[in-house]
Amino acid sequence: MNWLFRIIALTIMLPIFGAMGCYSFGFLPYLDELKSVAQSGRDNLIEIEDEIYLIAVAADGRENIRKHAIKSAYWSIYSSKNNQKVIVRNLTEMLWYVSSYLHFDDLEIFHIWSLYAPYEKGRGLAKSSEYYFNKKLEMLTHKQLAVLIAVTKSPSRYKLGSAKLNTRVKSILERVETHK
Q: For 113-170, how does the pLDDT look when each residue is reduced to its tens digit (9 = 90+)?
A: 999 998 888 889 999 999 999 999 999 999 999 999 999 888 888 888 899 999 999 9
Higher pLDDT, 76 or 13: 76
Determine the pLDDT at residue 7: 73
For residues 100-109, average pLDDT: 93
For residue 2, pLDDT over 80 is answered with no
For residue 74, pLDDT over 90 is answered with no
For residue 173, pLDDT over 90 is answered with yes
Alpha-carbon Rg for the chain in angstroms: 20
Q: What is the pTM of this model?
A: 0.82
For residue 29, pLDDT over 90 is answered with no
Q: Are 125 and 117 in contact (CB under 8 A)?
A: yes
Per-domain boundaries in the chain? 2-179
| In the chain, alpha helices (H) | 2-26, 31-45, 49-73, 86-103, 106-116, 125-133, 142-153, 163-179
Domain 2-179, CATH: 1.10.3810.10
Q: Are 45 and 52 in contact (CB under 8 A)?
A: yes
